[in-house]
Structure 1
Amino acid sequence: MNDPVLRLSGISKAYNPGAPNEVQVLRGIDLTVAPGEVVALVAPSGAGKSTLLHIAGLLDTADSGTVEIAGDDLTGQSDRKRTGVRRADVGFIYQFHHLLPEFTALENIVLPQLANGVARKAAEARARDLLAQVGIAERADHRPAAMSGGEQQRVAFCRALANEPRLLLADEPTGNLDPSTSDQVFAALMALVRGTGLSAVIATHNLELAARMDRQIRLEAGQLVPV
């Protein structure tokens, strides 16, 4: 039986711990994501979903609990080890695309591959293939300022998948788009995810988008409950 791609066990996180203004954000979170499973994380702003995603993706550390990615327990590991796993196995998408404005769409997708040791020719070929999959191959040589918001976010999707991660973590990936564009861009994202078979946790407050995923969980009072 394959290991879960992501396993969180007993994850707790507080801000200003021990102070009068302590805020307990996460309270003993347990979450398992199977290979190829797409999970919707439903929560309003301020509920702690970004904190949870950052801990799951090794960008932040929990006060207690363990984080396993593809069977590898990363709890207490060195920054170098965590960075290596994050670079190879985890892709991130945010509400805002965060593309590098001085580079083209193609270059934005090539750069993380070069940082991961991929040869330029192979990196460019993968970048063009990903852009074709999300329907904007003709935008390869355009800089972000010359693209629409929806096109920019599609490039961000491609960048997140450039290094063929096992796990995709997305924080309100269409939250900055109008409803019509949001639906189109989300469909492109799901096609990418399904086409590659990777696992994903996608945070959204849009219940219609959440319903299109395999499973829905809600973050309430620092704990996960099924929807």
Structure 2
Amino acid sequence: MNDVVLRLSGIEKLYNKGLAGEVNVLRGADLTLRAGEVVALVAPSGAGKSTLLHIAGLLDAPDTGLVEIGGERMDTKSDRRRTIARRQDIGFVYQFHHLLPEFDALENIVLPQLANGVSKSDARHHALELMTRVGVAERAKHRPAALSGGEQQRVAFCRALANSPRVLLADEPTGNLDPATSDQVFGALMDLVRGTGLAALVATHNLELASRMDRVLRMENGLLTDVS
């Protein structure tokens, strides 16, 4: 686990809240994430963890500081280069699955691969491999509305990993599930991450789940502290 996949250094982000004035959400946050490492990110609501994930995922830019993926500085790159990096190097999972309702589960995992230039047959084969790993292959032809919450989120994990990213960023991936389903879905996520060797940063309020990851980072006052 010596390969640094994601590095954030001196990340600052300030928002203008109108009458409320300026809010300095991030005040010089530093983070290093290595291949094969699963790191929990815990913080009170409103502390800035979603902002940090958006910056790490190249969806937003820091006011100051640098973002590196695989040793390449990305915060200064063009929009086109950042878009390519998001598609190829970063996988996203959210509290809500955001699957496309008009497509079945398999198609939801195939589509991002087609957008990345993979052939349809190879994309389908890879999608089924991922679905088999998390135990939902038999639901491949079902649309999202016909899946349970846990099944929907497992399919969302597979979609996030469809293009074999370097980094997985997950924002409360089990937050919308009951405790038993949350535990099962988290186990499936860990199996996927361990099986692919990518780096994962998982924001969660669930301290029990956080304790099962390699490290725990706490965000407070715009900074990150390793509390594992």
- TM-score of the superposition, structure 1-length normalised? 0.97
Q: Once the 2 structures are TM-superposed, how far is the Cα of residue 75 of structure 1 from its aligned partner? A: 2.0
For residues 8 and 19 of structure 1, do their structure 2 counterparts lie closer, same or farther at Cα, with a shift above 3 Å needed? farther
- 1:144, 1:152 within 8 Å by CA — same for their partners in 2? yes
- 2:58, 2:75 within 8 Å by CA — same for their partners in 1? no
Hey, what does 2:70 align to over in structure 1? 70
| In structure 2, C-alpha distance between the alignment counterparts of 1:134 and 1:46, rounded to whole Å | 32
> Which residue identity lines up with residue 206 of structure 2 in the other structure?
N
Hey, what does 1:28 align to over in structure 2? 28
Hey, what does 2:39 align to over in structure 1? 39
| In structure 1, C-alpha distance between the alignment counterparts of 2:19 and 2:31, rounded to whole Å | 28
For residues 21 and 195 of structure 1, do their structure 2 counterparts lie closer, same or farther at Cα, with a shift above 3 Å needed? same
| In structure 2, C-alpha distance between the alignment counterparts of 1:78 and 1:65, rounded to whole Å | 16
Q: Pairwise mapping of residues 156-171 of structure 1 onto structure 2 (< 5 A)?
A: 156-171=156-171
| In structure 2, C-alpha distance between the alignment counterparts of 1:172 and 1:206, rounded to whole Å | 9
Structure 1 runs (4+) deviating above 2 angstroms are 17-20
Alignment size in residue pairs:
227
Hey, what does 1:53 align to over in structure 2? 53
Q: Which runs of 5+ in 2 are unaligned?
A: none
Q: Which runs of 5+ in 1 are unaligned?
A: none
Q: Once the 2 structures are TM-superposed, how far is the Cα of residue 46 of structure 1 from its aligned partner? A: 1.2
| In structure 1, C-alpha distance between the alignment counterparts of 2:77 and 2:194, rounded to whole Å | 31
Find the residue that maps to 1:98 and give its secondary structure. Answer: coil
Hey, what does 1:173 align to over in structure 2? 173
| In structure 2, C-alpha distance between the alignment counterparts of 1:187 and 1:60, rounded to whole Å | 30
- Kindly report the root-mean-square deviation, in angstroms, between the aligned alpha carbons of the 2 structures: 1.4
- 1:217, 1:225 within 8 Å by CA — same for their partners in 2? yes
Find the residue that maps to 2:160 and give its secondary structure. Answer: helix
Q: Once the 2 structures are TM-superposed, how far is the Cα of residue 226 of structure 1 from its aligned partner? A: 1.8
Cα deviation digits, residues 135-162 of structure 1 (max 9, x gap): 0110000000000000000000000000
> Which residue identity lines up with residue 87 of structure 1 in the other structure?
R
| In structure 2, C-alpha distance between the alignment counterparts of 1:167 and 1:153, rounded to whole Å | 18
- 1:12, 1:65 within 8 Å by CA — same for their partners in 2? yes
Find the residue that maps to 1:5 and give its secondary structure. Answer: strand
- TM-score of the superposition, structure 2-length normalised? 0.97
Hey, what does 1:5 align to over in structure 2? 5
- 2:13, 2:63 within 8 Å by CA — same for their partners in 1? yes
Q: Once the 2 structures are TM-superposed, how far is the Cα of residue 44 of structure 1 from its aligned partner? A: 2.1
Hey, what does 1:192 align to over in structure 2? 192
> Which residue identity lines up with residue 147 of structure 1 in the other structure?
L
Q: Pairwise mapping of residues 90-105 of structure 1 onto structure 2 (< 5 A)?
A: 90-105=90-105
Find the residue that maps to 1:60 and give its secondary structure. Answer: coil
- 1:16, 1:22 within 8 Å by CA — same for their partners in 2? yes
- 2:167, 2:199 within 8 Å by CA — same for their partners in 1? yes
- 1:3, 1:71 within 8 Å by CA — same for their partners in 2? no
How high is the sequence identity, in percent, across the aligned residues?
73
- 1:93, 1:157 within 8 Å by CA — same for their partners in 2? yes
| In structure 2, C-alpha distance between the alignment counterparts of 1:3 and 1:15, rounded to whole Å | 33
Q: Once the 2 structures are TM-superposed, how far is the Cα of residue 3 of structure 1 from its aligned partner? A: 4.2
